[in-house]
Amino acid sequence: MIIRDSGRRAASLAVTTAVAFTTLAGTPAATAHSPRPAPTGPAAALEGTWRMDGYGTLVSVEDGGRRLRTYETTAAGCLPGVTDARRSRAGEPFRQEGESTITVTADGPSRARLAHAESVGHRGLRRAGALPAACREGQPAKNPRAVFDTFWQTYAENYPFFAVKGVDWKAVRDRYRPRVTGRTTDAELFGILRKMIEPLHDGHTSIVTGYGKDDPRYAGHREDTTLPDGKTVERLDAAVAAAVGVPLRTWGRGAVSYADLPDGTGYLRVTRFTRYTQAGTYEEDSAELDRALDAIFTPERTKALRGVILDLRFNGGGSDRLGLRIAERLTDRPYTAYAKHARNDATDPRKFTAPEPVGVAPHRGGPVYTGPLAVLAGRLTISAGETTTQALMGRTPAPVRIGENTQGSFSDVLERRLPNGWTFGLPNEEYLSAADGRTTYDGAGIAPHVRTAVFTEEELAAGRDSALAEARRRLAAGR
């Protein structure tokens, strides 16, 4: 499943198992217009065109404030975005079929904040002039060179990690663009685009040419990681069930499971933070997760548990906000989980939007668990699985992390379209440590306190689960 740029997180494992606003010429002057006066009246207060801080996006609010559309902009041109949402009256969130809600709040006549229900933080908006002509003129050229240029330019203006990954993106362009001509086939073009981003070894990079079973697609991952297929997933699930040794109760279409272990420890496994319900919207998924957590963290159990094991070793991501809902059940005091910011300069990958702190607030609708906690994680802990791991680092008492480094892919996925109809995704954000406001874990991932094997062939063949056994041993010993 490829996550659109709707604020939802990328469920990278699910793919395999089932900047500042950039103007069209690359500089603000290229599309500069005198800002229009803000429309009057509550229903039209947001009417007009807005530049999004970072994300290379224009937001158009139309029809008296009842319709919201996005446009994807780079120096290579402008394409219609994936968002076309509506509302019936002012004050309501915007809704798009099959997607979660979007809220836009005005901060005066020239600034606003946009928030996706399933995403943490906000995206700043600045009032702009009319839509650039390139956005109004319909589809641009669809030839292979135009596709290549849009792909390369989007990465050039939004991707923050070229230096960390050791990739010279301009050299990549010089190497591959001469190979693209008007006669380049779709198969050849896909192969070129894939070769361009494979060396990034980034779990939040992807290319989708279509949604048929035979349509080529690519999903990146860290070099030491093999993404599991369906049979491997079944094998991992069976191994976990055998290691737990007692029946697991499940919710969220099997994504959330829990068991009381004989030693007085609670075992909570979460394999994704998305698609808990058929509809898959954040509103319905959060209600289903709350139903599960209400059943797990009862007054009696939270008092009796000697420890909790949170197993995120096989978690492909989803909504950061759903991850925070779990963190809220594991604390009785508010604290900062992390801060996030987005690349905010088309020519300088070192410049970002102002960091926005993201907090964890104790759950107020029932009991919370505040005792010893062990978090199991590994290379298949990706995206929202990682931000949940990061969010728990500020908990008191701090959890012990057991297993391997997480995958190292934290950002929301910025999904973009290509002129020929293909889609692709890339990260454009950093999640900053709450401890110092600077440290990020992109690439290397979050390291464990106690390193053990995780789902290796040797472990699976021997029927051994070293990470779970170590967590049970430590919690039993009160460490």
Question: Is 171 a domain residue?
Answer: no
Q: Are 117 and 241 part of one and the same domain?
A: no
Question: Is 425 a domain residue?
Answer: no
Domain end position, chosen among 136, 156, 171:
136
Please provide the size of the chain in residues: 479
Q: 337 to each of 37, 92, 388, how far by Cα in Å?
A: 39, 29, 9
Domain end position, chosen among 119, 136, 153:
136
CA–CA separation, 15 vs 424, rounded Å? 13
CA angle in degrees (0–180, nearest 5) for 109-115-117? 150
Q: How confident is the model over 242-287, as pLDDT tens digits?
A: 999 999 999 999 999 999 999 999 999 999 999 999 999 999 999 9
CA–CA separation, 280 vs 301, rounded Å? 29
Q: Are 131 and 244 part of one and the same domain?
A: no
Q: How confident is the model over 418-448, as pLDDT tens digits?
A: 999 999 999 999 999 999 999 999 999 999 9
CA–CA separation, 57 vs 198, rounded Å? 25
Report the side by side order of strands in the sheet with 249-251: 249-251, 256-260, 265-270, 307-311, 373-377, 400-403, 450-451
Q: How confident is the model over 370-381, as pLDDT tens digits?
A: 999 999 999 999
Long-range contact set of residues 196-201: C-beta below 8 Å, sequence gap at least 24 = 196/151, 196/152, 196/172, 197/155, 197/426, 199/165, 199/167, 200/159, 200/161, 200/165, 200/167, 201/165
Question: Is 28 a domain residue?
Answer: yes
- Which amino acid makes up residue 351? K
Q: How confident is the model over 211-230, as pLDDT tens digits?
A: 898 899 999 999 999 999 99
Question: Is 398 a domain residue?
Answer: yes
Q: Are 257 and 375 part of one and the same domain?
A: yes
Token pair listed for 83? 């968002």
- pLDDT, position 98: 85
- For residue 36, pLDDT over 80 is answered with no
Question: Is 52 a domain residue?
Answer: yes
Least confident of 23-32, 325-334, 459-468: 23-32
Q: Looking at the DSSP assignment, which residues form a beta bridge with residue 49?
A: 60
Ordered alpha helix ranges (H), 297-383: 299-304, 320-327
Assign 3-state DSSP to the chain and report helix, strand, coil percentages, each to 5.
30, 25, 45
- pLDDT, position 141: 82
Total domain count for the chain?
2
Q: Are 341 and 446 part of one and the same domain?
A: yes
Question: Is 260 a domain residue?
Answer: yes
Residue 260 near residue 301, CB atoms below 8 Å? yes
Question: Is 56 a domain residue?
Answer: yes
Q: How confident is the model over 69-104, as pLDDT tens digits?
A: 999 999 999 999 989 999 998 889 999 998 889 999
pTM score of the predicted model: 0.91
Please report the DSSP string for 173-215 in residue order.
HHHHGGG--TT--HHHHHHHHHHHHGGG--TT-EEES-SSTTS
More confident residue, 237 or 479: 237
- For residue 410, pLDDT over 90 is answered with yes
Question: Is 408 a domain residue?
Answer: yes
In which domain, by residue range, is 54 found?
A: 19-136
- pLDDT, position 298: 98
Q: Are 343 and 459 part of one and the same domain?
A: yes
Q: Looking at the DSSP assignment, which residues form a beta bridge with residue 60?
A: 49, 69
- pLDDT, position 15: 38
Domain end position, chosen among 84, 106, 136:
136
- Which amino acid makes up residue 362? P
Q: Are 258 and 128 part of one and the same domain?
A: no
Q: Are 130 and 243 part of one and the same domain?
A: no
* Interacting residues of 232 by C-beta distance below 8 A, sequence separation 6+: none
Q: Are 312 and 461 part of one and the same domain?
A: yes
Q: 405 to each of 200, 275, 390, how far by Cα in Å?
A: 18, 25, 12
Quickly state the pLDDT bin for 26 (edges 50, 70, 90).
very low
Give me the CATH number covering residue 455. 3.90.226.10
| Per-chain mean pLDDT for the chain | 91
